[in-house]
Amino acid sequence: MSVPSALLHRYGVPAAVGLAMLVALLLPLNLLANQPLHHDEALYATWAVTLAAGDDPWLSAIPIDKPPLFLLLVAGAFRLLGVTETVARLPSLLATAAVVLLTYLLGSKLYNEATGLLAAWLTALSPFTILFAPTALTDPTLVTLVLAACLAAAYERAGLAGIGAALAIATKQQGIFFVPLIAGCLFVTKWQRDRVVGSLVAETRQGPDQSATSHVLPSTSYASSFFLGLFLTFLPFI
């Protein structure tokens, strides 16, 4: 690789990803403070105000239909920056930038850097991304946590994948529907690695029984780590 190509790869790709994240932050800015709150946004913000005030930290006097993680994030933003409509939407805006970064990382891990970069830009320019970023809705945070869990699964970090899945469910109930996707990503990644390891084992002429045993035990360990991480993380939110 020539020096200019090496420099382009070293600095150009991070710059392109950073620019995609910046675009995802800037494009929705006009809508951040200039559109009225959707009724769901107003409801979540009201619950978050109650949490931020500390009057009813468990929201026991209010019938709520959402898990608490997103409400806690908005309440934290209110405590730090004050109670305004714009502040209520900041967690979603920041989550959108994280979605772009995680899309790049996941695409690069599963395919290659060019695929990850293309996916990041398509995400940043998606109309759904632009519309949901400046809202006090749960969806951007949910997508962020699902992608983080998938990325952990792609790196075979079963416990972290379980934690990400639990946090996604603690953000929005529909997060439970992504658990098969996250678990599938984990075990497909492991299966692909085991194929490579199995080929190396065969080349070194080790017995097939020994190879099979070495693959079965980690699968059990992966499942245990994934579901233990999921359960222990979600337990405080029950």
| pLDDT single digits (tens) 48-90 | 999 999 888 888 888 888 999 999 999 999 999 999 999 999 9
Cβ contacts of residue 64 below 8 Å, gap of 6+? 47, 71
Per the model's pLDDT, the better-predicted residue between 176 and 206 turns out to be 176
Q: What is the mean pLDDT of the chain?
A: 88
* Cβ neighbourhood burial of 118 (10 Å; 0-12, 13-18, 19+): middle
Q: Is 24 exposed, middle or buried (0-12, 13-18, 19+ CB in 10 A)?
A: buried
pLDDT of residue 220: 78
Please indicate whether residue 139 or residue 202 has the higher confidence score (pLDDT).
139
208 pLDDT above the threshold of 80: no
What single-letter amino acid sits at 175?
A: G
Model confidence, pTM: 0.88
Tracing tokens 């920056």 back to the chain, one arrives at 81
Instruction: Give Cα separations from 124 to 20, 127, 137 (angstroms).
Output: 6, 9, 18
**pLDDT tens-digit map of 161-198:** 999 999 999 999 999 999 999 999 998 888 877 776 66
